[in-house]
Each structure stands twice: as C-alpha cells, then as structure tokens.
C-alpha cells in the first residue's frame, strides 16, 4: 500500500499490498518492556508453583498432595520453600518499584495508560462481538483496535488492579504486619487476587503461545517487532497512527516539499471520509470511557450492573451481617409514625412492637438509613446519566389516571405480600437467595410464577 494514502477504516488489500506489508516490520515493544515481561513471567511461574505448594490447609489446597511433596522435597523443607517464595516476591516488588519510579513517564503516565489499558467504545463493541463470534452467534466484523486489543486491555486492567493488592498482602503475610486479624484478611485477599490474575493468565498464555492468529504477538515479545500486515489486520488504529507519524516524518525530511501539497500535511487530508468525523465519534481514552459509563443515557449491561450490585450485597453481609432490603425499612417508618399517633396500640400489637423497643426509636436502624441512601444513590445515578425527568412511566394504551390506579392496586398487593413473606424482592429474594435460605428461593419462584401468569391478564396495560 502506498504510504501516502492512509485509509480511515480498514479496506480490503490486494494480494501485492498484503505481500509487501507482510515483509515490512513495525517496532512494537521496547527492549526494557520485553525484559520486564519475561522477568515477570518467570516470577509468576515460580511463585505460582511454590505458592500452590504452600497452601496446606485441606480446605483450600489446590495442588494434589504428591505435588506438594515433590516441590517441598526439591527445596528440602517447607521453611526453605516459604523463604524462597518470600525472597522472590520481594525481588519482584523491588524490580517493579524501580521500573515504576524511573520509568514512570514511559509506563505509568496518563497518556500511556489511556492508550494501553483504558477501554474505549470500540473496545466495548469488540468484546461483545468477539464473544458472540466465539459462540458462533455473530458474523459482525470486529471494530478496529489500538496497539492492544480489548481483551489484552481487560487483562491488563485486572493485572494493574491486582498487583498492588498481591504485593501489599504478601508483605503483610511475610512480616506479620500490624495484627493477626489483618494477616488473616491478607491471606484471603492474596488468594483471591492471585486467583483472578491466574484465571486471566490462562487465556493470556493460550492466546500468546497456542492460538495461531496471535502468533506474531508472541514473537513480538522476543523480537520487539510485528509485521505490518498483522498490525493492519489486528491493530488497525495503531497501524494508522504509526503510518501517520511516518508520513509526517517523511514530509519533514523532504522539507515540506516533494509531491505533497501543504494541505496534505494535515491529518484531514487522508483518504476516505474527512477525519473531522472523528469529532462525532465517542470520546477516546480514559475520559471517554468514564464519560460513556457515567454520563451517557444508556443503562449499563446487566452483568456489569449485576456485579456491582453483588459486591454491594457482599459488603452489606461483611459489614452489617445482613443483606440489603427495602420493605423492612418502610415498615419501620410506619411503626415510627403509628407509635407517635397511638403508642399504646403499637405496644399491644406483637407484629409492630417487635420494631418499637422501649427507649430505642424504630428509625435508628440499618434499613431505614439504607433507604435514604438508595434514594440518593438512584438520584445521583439518574442525574449523571441525564435520566431525570417527571413523567408517568406507562404502556402506550393506558391513561395516566389508569396507571395511577393500577400502581396503587399493585402497591397494596406488593406491600401485603412482602410483609406476609417477611421480605420483598430485595430483602428476601436477593439477600436470602445469596445465603441460600430455602424460603427465599420458594418466594422468588412464586414471584416469577405470578408475574409471568399475571402478565397475560394485564398485557394491554404494558404493551
């Protein structure tokens, strides 16, 4: 391909073009990065090998006993093996610290992270299409990728997030820092963080060493270069950047003259649609992703929101010893109101006086304050995404008045049902479901059964 015409989007290549491109090499990795990569690979291999053998508790042992015996035998004793694991880990921390300190601008500066690990809109589409293609459910073309594809970026994000945790927890465990309970927490965190990286590592190693299409990526970690055809096909946006830079450099060498007219030097002169179109595309880089995630009116993909919700629920169990809820909180508001109007009635009613202990307001409770947080959190989320509006959320064939009446009827049934079951969709189905309460699962199935059956009878109000 003539280096003077750089397409904005990938175009089919002629055989000659492809042949020529396959011969040309582009530099991808600096030698310092390649050294770090292989150093890191060796450390991971040895740390995983010894780490797996160090886990002796029968609850968590992941390696078979004979494996532990072999590794332990190799080191002579468990103490020696532990010493090796710690010494290598500290070496690893020191090397990374040196790289991070002296190479901060090369490896950790904002622009580098935006280019190498921040997912942009194309990347999110790429992840979806890639997954569907693996499952054989789609033939869509993959969107063009930067120097690293979205899968590599996702793995990098995981690694960047987990490495500090692994290092810190490792140090806490090795030197028994602060307190025994902190060490105990460090053990579980260390294990989870390593487990997450190791699961990504399996894909990383498979892609690099086995997957035929990605062979050039593997060799680029040895030679530092990839051929242009591979760059064009797999990392088009990066290829384009390299070509643009090359052209600028060439033009400068030719003193701005040569065949190129002055307009040719601006990026807008590249072949195909005007580059000005770029403005209309979603913003790139870290800011673009955050913008897309928090400010755009689309809802989050259900599995992403679900992980967020699940972690919040887990945090509730860890911190408060119970899950999230809703109807219990409303009950407390009601009890507070009724005991203000008719305290003796509440005192005589066994269902209500459970919530109104003498000397303690029914409002000083987890769910009561949690509900205030829910309102604020929901409002902030909607406000960020420009979703705030006053509207009647209803089906197309029902009047606003009709919708209000139905909402009231539905609310009465929901409220009565929730208190009869001692919990609602949040407090019983979600929180009880997570701790495998039998009643919670029965309740959940009943909710869905009634919902699916009832849907038929009220279909004209919704669709």
Partner 1 sequence: MSAPFFPQFSQTTYLAVSLLLGFFFGFFLERAGFSSAKKLTAQFYFKDFSVLKVMFTAIVVAMLGIAYLAAAGRLDMSQVYVPLTFLWPQIAGGLLLGAGFIIGGY
Using CB under 8 A as the binding rule, the residues of this chain from 144 to 163 that contact partner 1 are: none
Binding part of the chain for partner 1, among 76-84, 147-155, 283-291, 451-459 by CB under 8 A, reads 451-459
Q: Between residue 422 and residue 441, which ones bind partner 1 under the rule CB under 8 A?
A: 422-440
Residue 152 CA to residue 336 CA, distance in Å, equals 54
Residue 265 CA to residue 228 CA, distance in Å, equals 23
Minimum separation from the CB atom of position 122 to partner 1 (A): 22
At 353 the three-state DSSP class reads helix
User: Residues 323-342 vs partner 1: string with x where CB under 8 A?
Assistant: xx------------------
Integer CA distances (angstroms), 159 to 14, 106, 147, 152, 450, in order: 39, 18, 18, 10, 45
| Interaction between residue 296 and partner 1 (CB under 8 A) | no
Task: Write down the H helix ranges in 55-179.
Answer: 65-75, 78-102, 110-116, 121-134, 150-175
Residue 213 CA to residue 207 CA, distance in Å, equals 8
Minimum separation from the CB atom of position 426 to partner 1 (A): 8
Q: Between residue 303 and residue 322, which ones bind partner 1 under the rule CB under 8 A?
A: 303, 305-322
Q: Between residue 101 and residue 120, which ones bind partner 1 under the rule CB under 8 A?
A: none
At 177 the three-state DSSP class reads coil
| Interaction between residue 409 and partner 1 (CB under 8 A) | yes
Q: Which is nearer to partner 1, 94 or 388 (CB)?
A: 388
Q: Which is nearer to partner 1, 69 or 376 (CB)?
A: 376
| Interaction between residue 455 and partner 1 (CB under 8 A) | yes
Number of residues engaging partner 1 in binding (CB under 8 A): 112
Integer CA distances (angstroms), 173 to 16, 86, 178, 372, 413, in order: 59, 9, 10, 39, 53
Minimum separation from the CB atom of position 453 to partner 1 (A): 8
| Interaction between residue 402 and partner 1 (CB under 8 A) | no
What are the φ and ψ backbone dihedral angles of 18, each rounded to 5 degrees? Answer: -60, -45
Minimum separation from the CB atom of position 282 to partner 1 (A): 18
User: Residues 156-195 vs partner 1: string with x where CB under 8 A?
Assistant: -----------------------x-x--xx-xx--xx---
At 323 the three-state DSSP class reads coil
| Interaction between residue 218 and partner 1 (CB under 8 A) | no
Q: Between residue 359 and residue 378, which ones bind partner 1 under the rule CB under 8 A?
A: 364-378
- Name the strand (E) or helix (H) holding 23: helix 15-23
| Interaction between residue 282 and partner 1 (CB under 8 A) | no
Minimum separation from the CB atom of position 436 to partner 1 (A): 7
Residue 151 CA to residue 130 CA, distance in Å, equals 9
Q: Are 6 and 265 in contact (CB under 8 A)?
A: no
Q: Are 36 and 78 in contact (CB under 8 A)?
A: no
């Amino acid at each position: 391909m003539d280096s003077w015409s750089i397409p904005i989007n990938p175009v089919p290549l002629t055989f000659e073009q492809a042949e020529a491109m396959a011969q040309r090499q582009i530099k991808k990795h600096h030698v310092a990065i390649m050294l770090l990569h292989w150093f890191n690979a060796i450390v991971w291999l040895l740390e995983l090998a010894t780490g797996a053998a160090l886990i002796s508790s029968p609850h968590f042992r992941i390696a078979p006993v004979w494996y532990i015996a072999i590794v332990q035998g190799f080191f002579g004793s468990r103490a020696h093996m532990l010493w090796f694991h710690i010494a290598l880990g500290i070496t690893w921390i020191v090397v990374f610290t040196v790289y991070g300190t002296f190479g901060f601008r090369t490896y950790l500066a904002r622009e580098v992270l935006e280019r190498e690990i921040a997912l942009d809109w194309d990347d999110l589409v790429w992840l979806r299409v890639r997954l569907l293609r693996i499952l054989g459910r789609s033939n869509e073309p993959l969107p063009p990728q930067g120097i690293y594809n979205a899968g590599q970026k996702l793995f990098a994000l995981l690694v960047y997030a987990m490495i500090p945790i692994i290092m810190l927890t490792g140090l806490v465990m090795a030197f028994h820092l602060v307190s025994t309970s902190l060490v105990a927490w460090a053990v579980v965190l260390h294990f989870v963080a390593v487990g997450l990286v190791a699961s990504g590592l399996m894909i990383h190693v498979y892609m690099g060493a086995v997957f035929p299409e990605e062979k050039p990526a593997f060799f680029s970690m040895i030679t530092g270069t990839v051929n242009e055809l591979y760059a064009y096909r797999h990392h088009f946006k990066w290829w384009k950047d390299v070509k643009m830079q090359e052209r600028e450099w060439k033009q400068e060498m030719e003193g701005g003259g040569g065949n190129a007219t002055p307009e040719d030097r601006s990026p807008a002169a590249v072949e195909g649609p005007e580059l000005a179109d770029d403005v209309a595309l979603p913003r790139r880089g870290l800011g673009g992703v955050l913008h897309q995630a928090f400010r755009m009116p689309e809802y989050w993909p259900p599995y992403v929101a679900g992980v967020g919700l699940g972690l919040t629920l887990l945090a509730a169990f860890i911190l408060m010893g119970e899950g999230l809820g809703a109807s219990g909180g409303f009950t407390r508001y009601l009890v507070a109101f009724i005991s203000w109007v008719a305290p003796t009635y509440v005192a005589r009613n066994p269902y209500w006086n459970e919530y109104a202990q003498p000397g303690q307001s029914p409002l000083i409770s987890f769910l009561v304050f949690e509900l205030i947080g829910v309102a604020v959190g929901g409002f902030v989320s909607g406000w960020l995404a420009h979703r705030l509006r006053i509207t009647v959320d209803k089906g197309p064939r029902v009047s606003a008045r009709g919708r209000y009446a139905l909402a009231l009827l539905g609310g009465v049934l929901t409220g009565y049902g929730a208190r009869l079951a001692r919990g609602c969709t949040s407090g019983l189905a979600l929180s009880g479901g997570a701790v495998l309460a039998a009643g919670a699962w029965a309740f959940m199935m009943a909710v869905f059964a009634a919902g699916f059956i009832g849907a038929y009878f009220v279909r004209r109000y919704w669709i």
